[in-house]
């Protein structure tokens, strides 16, 4: 069994009908049968067609039916996420994969246009080679939609119900829309970004969307949104702890960091934190299974005295002590940038921790300290996990530790930890 994250993602163009209910019920049953959870996302990109009143009615109907989602609260509304989609659109554009399309609907659906056996239009690439001058001239009379250029590549996958399915993107699909002429982002981009950032790893939906899957899998890959299997448990744990999907992009791992941490935990490595809050959040039953121990020196009188004598902070003094007493520990830093800088200095002097978790939160020296720490870890071959940017905190440090402990003890499935609801 696995800690599955499913989702129900209706488009509220009207009241819920039996087809909607069937899809929701199957998604809910599939995830719950694996000890997982179901998230709710409202796919209301076209606000003219999908008023918020219908979305509210769907939420109420699901609660009445006993199929309420496990989160987030409130649900994710795609109409509120245009800035997020724009970032990923810009990334594809920066790489030269996006181009404007001025074709009218009648041109696209003309009898001479390539069509699939199911009637779908295969875009012929009419606007792909337009020159800047041609684009400028056509823009005078018509706002363009925007397409992404796909490769001549076969994308294959195994569907849980339909079995093997594959498409050649260039031959069977063609360059597809990322944004409409009116500025509304296309379903294909939005659903990929949202599923990735929400940590969704199981999708139950109608067979009419089977042919969308290859292009979505390709977008996942091109946007770097598919987490390597070994890091997925950590990313999910942090997102579930914080309800912040940005961590899917912000968390950075040195190669093999999770594997190295699990190996260290099996060998009885200590976990040293920089706050008592992080210490309190680390699972004690999981550590007990590993005969492990987590400690924090911040409240130790000897550390306070050492900091006073050296004219420095307790975080600095605590890391110096950890380096002396537990040189092979997992160092979990969720608060003090100075702790990260001290660890980097200790590594210069020869310290080689089993893992450094660098996730302080705030403004002063936070971003810089993470970059210095991560660069030092890469230079000296020390495994590291860091939340790049300003986000983080003691709860994030504890969440990462717990994901590693649960991985080491095969307790990632909530039922293995006594959760039977």
Ramachandran class of 142: left when φ > 0, alpha when ψ lies in -120 to 50, beta otherwise: beta
Best CA proximity match to 220, nearest among 246, 200, 239: 200
In this structure, the number of other CB atoms found within 10 A of the CB of residue 132 comes to 7
Strands 98-101 and 145-148 come out as: antiparallel
Best CA proximity match to 399, nearest among 255, 289, 273: 273
Q: Which one is catalytic: 240, 266, 320, 326?
A: 240
218 neighbors 254 (Cβ within 8 angstroms): no
Phi and psi at residue 156, to the nearest 5°? -125, 150
User: Could you confirm whether 240 is annotated as catalytic?
Assistant: yes
| Bridge partners for 148 per DSSP | 98, 176
84-95: string of b/e by CB count within 10 Å (b at 16+)?
bbeebbeebeee
Q: What is the DSSP string of 50-64?
A: S-HHHHHHHHHHHHH
| Bridge partners for 37 per DSSP | 5
Q: Hey, which residues are catalytic here?
A: 240
């Amino acid at each position: 069994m696995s800690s599955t994250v499913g989702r129900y993602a209706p488009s509220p163009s009207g009241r819920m009908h039996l087809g909607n209910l069937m899809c929701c019920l199957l998604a809910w049953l599939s995830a719950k049968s694996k000890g997982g959870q179901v998230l709710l996302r409202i796919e209301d990109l076209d606000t003219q067609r999908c008023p918020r009143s219908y979305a509210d009615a769907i939420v109420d109907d699901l609660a009445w039916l006993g199929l309420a989602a496990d989160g987030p609260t409130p649900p994710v509304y795609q109409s509120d996420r245009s800035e997020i989609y724009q970032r990923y659109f810009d990334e594809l554009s920066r790489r030269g994969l996006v181009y404007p399309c001025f074709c009218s609907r009648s041109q696209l659906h003309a009898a001479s246009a390539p069509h699939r056996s199911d009637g779908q239009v295969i875009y012929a690439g009419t606007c792909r080679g337009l020159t800047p001058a041609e684009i400028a001239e056509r823009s005078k009379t018509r706002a363009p939609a925007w397409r992404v250029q796909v490769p001549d590549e076969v994308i294959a996958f195994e569907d849980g119900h339909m079995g093997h399915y594959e498409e050649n993107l260039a031959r069977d699909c063609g360059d597809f829309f990322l944004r409409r002429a009116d500025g509304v982002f296309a379903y294909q981009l939005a659903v990929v970004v949202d599923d990735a950032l929400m940590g969704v790893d199981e999708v139950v939906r109608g067979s009419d969307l089977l042919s969308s899957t290859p292009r979505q899998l390709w977008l996942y890959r091109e946007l770097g949104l598919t987490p390597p299997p070994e890091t997925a448990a950590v990313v999910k744990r942090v997102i579930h702890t914080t309800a912040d999907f940005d961590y899917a992009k912000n968390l950075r791992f040195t190669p093999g960091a999770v594997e190295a941490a699990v190996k260290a935990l099996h060998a009885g490595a200590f976990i040293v934190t920089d706050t008592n809050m992080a210490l309190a959040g680390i699972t004690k039953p999981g550590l007990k299974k590993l005969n492990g121990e987590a400690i924090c020196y911040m409240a130790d009188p000897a550390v306070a005295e050492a900091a006073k004598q050296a004219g420095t902070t307790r975080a600095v003094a605590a890391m110096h002590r950890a380096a002396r007493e537990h040189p092979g520990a997992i160092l979990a830093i969720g608060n003090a940038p100075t702790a990260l800088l001290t660890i980097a200095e200790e590594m210069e002097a020869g310290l080689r921790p089993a893992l450094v978790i660098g996730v302080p939160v705030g403004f002063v020296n936070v971003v810089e300290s993470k970059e210095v720490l991560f660069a030092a870890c890469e230079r000296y071959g020390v495994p590291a996990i860091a939340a790049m940017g300003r986000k983080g905190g003691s709860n994030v440090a504890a969440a990462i530790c717990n994901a590693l402990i649960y991985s080491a003890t095969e307790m990632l499935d909530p039922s293995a930890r006594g959760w039977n609801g």
